[in-house]
Chain A
Amino acid sequence: MFMILGYPAPLLFGQLLLGLINGAFYALLSLGLAVIFGMLNIVNFAHGALFMLGAFVAWGLLNFLGINYWAALILAPLIVGFFGVILEKTLISRLYKLDHLYGLLLTFGLALVIEGLARNEFGSSGVPYPIPSVLQGATNLGFMFMPIYRGWVVLASAIMCLITWLIIEKTSIGATLRAATENAPLVQAFGINVPRMITLTYAGGVALAAFAGVLAAPIYSVNPNMGANFIVTVFAVVVIGGMGSILGSIVTGFGLGVIEGLTKVFYPQGSSVVIFVVMVIVLLVRPAGLFGKAA
């Protein structure tokens, strides 16, 4: 068998692909965080909890209303996005004038409350969510057995990342958004409702988290801790990519997924820290992150 560094090549190719799959989740989640941080300057610690909420909403839609996966993929982000609107309007908007730390504490507290309520209701083992029937099964790629659903996750996530990037970088709405980030009073003077735009941006970021949650539901058991497991890693991804950088979070998300995947072959015990090692190195060399603008 063809070997690389003493490991069979098929095994390594398999790990690269798995890395991309995990990277897809990192990219989607960190993208939402980056959008929110870029526009609102809020470090949204509730992101993991909202990701979890997305998965639970999909589960609830299926079990109580019989609404299938495909509809949930659209409905769950809308529902959670609306919840985001409420959060932003009632709580988060009060903190824009204060130090970052307040936003962090508030969203962290919200995360604890949302996760605590879910844990109280559903326990910690979680509830099962079936893979939609068209995406069941797997194909043999020669070097590995590839579940069709995982392939779909990479595709869906890449498309969603692309759409978000296009909206922000290439459309007039995106241009206004970016302008409002630079100088809100000036944009407001042009007759644009900046507070509403900020609310919708938060809802959009949150909807991305919920979308990732629905994608994750059939892979992991839908459980209250699913967001907490991801969120710290995702923050590291955002920091490495450069706080607020859209492209940075997408590229780093996928890239770090691959690095983590390879670590799982060479030194499995280190797979949970490798991302933080990368983070330390990047911060030493480029304090603003790989794609960030130096302050």
Chain B
Amino acid sequence: MILNRRTLLGTAAAGATLPLAGHSARAQAAGTIKIGVLNDQSGPYRDTGGTSSVAAVQMAVDEFASKGFKVEVISADHQNKPDLGAQLASQWFDRDGVDVIMDVPTSSVGLAVAGVAKARNKLHLNIGSATAELTNSACAPSVIHYIYDTYMLAKSTGGATVKAGGDSWFFITADYAFGKQLQADTTAMVLASGGKISGSVAYPFPGTTDYSSFLLQAQSSGAKVLGLANAGGDTVNSVKQAKEFGITMRIATMLMFITDVHALGLDVAQGLTLTESFYWDMNDKTRAFTKRFLPRSPNNYPNMIHAGNYSAALHFLKAVSDIGVPAAKASGSAIADRMKAMPVADDAFQGSIRKDGRGIFPAYLFQVKKPAESKGKWDYYNLLQTTSGEDAYKPLAASTCSFIKA
């Protein structure tokens, strides 16, 4: 229920990008590569992406030494509104000379921006959205979906939950593209493993803060597992209230980030299982990355979206440097093809990008530590299981992406 505030903000945001137009036209002439980071900077997904994602992209730009060309990073708040996201994306591509739009969480906005990029053959590196449609029905030669999707979450968290005996599910779902897709993918996974679905409720997004009523419906359904097909602040409130109302079901937080665990506190979050493709304390490389990142985002440790933005930006710049600035500016699919041809190798991610634009990286199933196990700040995860990139994502044979079949 933040329509009024957001509408005003929207106008302000749209206005704020206006003065950039003249400036960027000059910048473009000088052969500058321009990266636009578009995400939620004021709403429920601010901490999972937001200004920390912008900082991550800027860090990649600063660390990419051998450029021979200039790189400029701009950012805007899409306020989780598909129409505003599409409008900003068009403006950036058509008028401001932006070469790639990055991050774009909130699946409904991600799909809208992917559409804008596809129509113009411009590059869109999606990191923040979850919907697997970005590399299926909505796929495009110039769209890359980097570090996770609903299929992979369903396979990793959902698969492990069913295996552990959680064979009947009730979903509490955010009523928009992301929640529905996550529920659909998890449902398919549960049914395929011999489980059943006892029911579901879809609640209005954004703006819902009280989940008690849905939690009671879930409890009275008799299902063993409560599947939370939501994210960010919504997940935090759902888990907190489930504990408060003594919900005895096993809770499957289908999408949860370390930033959410931090907001919940280990007392409440302990024991939850979740899937991320990055954990800051995984190995020496990720710790080194985190050490460099923290001065840029002191209150927010990097989750997979922040790390993904860094990695994607770095990979993009390597590809630009390979094919040259004019070629990169001319065709989004050309730069995407170059990115698909190179292995991804940096401190945060090691893997590759498939021809349908799907980033292929291992999916890690984590369990949140008990308060007593946690040795320090943000020491939250125990690794339970690793699913290789090849197994974690929907196989190409089952893909509904059209251009790869041509």
Name B216's closest neighbour in chain A (CB-CB): A14
A112 to B10, CA, bound (A): 13
Q: Kindly provide the distance from the CB of B68 to the nearest chain A CB, expressed in whole angstroms.
A: 37
Closest to B52 in A: A123
Contact B204 A269 (CB under 8 A): yes
A268 touching B241 in the complex, CB below 8 Å, given contacts A123-B46, A125-B47, A126-B233: no
What is the bound-complex CA distance between A147 and B50, given in angstroms? 34
Majority-rule SS of B interface residues: helix
Please indicate the chain A residues that have their CB under 8 angstroms from the CB of B213 in the complex: 14-15, 18, 261, 264-265
**Nearest CB in chain B to that of A15: its residue:** B213
At the interface, is chain A mostly helix, strand, loop or mixed? helix
Are A124's CB and B244's CB within 8 A?
no
Cα A245 to Cα B342 with chains together (Å): 68
Cβ of B232 < 8 Å from any Cβ of A?
yes
Residue of B44, B232, B267 contacting most chain A CB atoms (<10 Å) = B44
Interface string of B29-56 (1 = CB under 8 A from A): 0000000000000111111101000000
Which of A116, A232, A264, A273 lies in contact with B4, CB distance below 8 A?
Answer: A232
Of the candidate stretches B87-95, B256-264, B378-386, the one touching chain A is B256-264
Q: Are A272 and B201 touching (Cβ within 8 A)?
A: no
CB atoms of A219 and B214 under 8 A apart: no
Q: Does A221 contact B (CB under 8 A)?
A: yes
Per the CB 8 Å criterion, the residue count for chain A at the interface is 48
Q: Are B202 and A138 in contact (CB under 8 A)?
A: no
A124-B43, A126-B233, A144-B216 in contact; A229/B209 too (CB < 8 A)?
Answer: yes
Other-chain residue from B47, B214, B219, B264 in contact with A123 (beta carbon distance below 8 A):
B47
Chain B hits for A219, CB < 8 A: 240-241, 244
23 A-B residue pairs with Cβ-Cβ distance under 8 Å, sorted by A, are: A11-B216, A112-B9, A123-B50, A124-B43, A125-B232, A125-B263, A128-B263, A219-B244, A220-B209, A220-B240, A221-B263, A223-B263, A225-B2, A225-B43, A228-B2, A230-B209, A233-B1, A264-B203, A265-B213, A265-B217, A268-B202, A268-B204, A272-B208
Given A14-B216, A21-B212, A127-B263, 14 more pairs with CB closer than 8 A: A11-B216, A112-B8, A112-B9, A125-B236, A125-B263, A144-B216, A145-B246, A150-B212, A219-B241, A221-B264, A225-B233, A230-B209, A269-B202, A271-B204
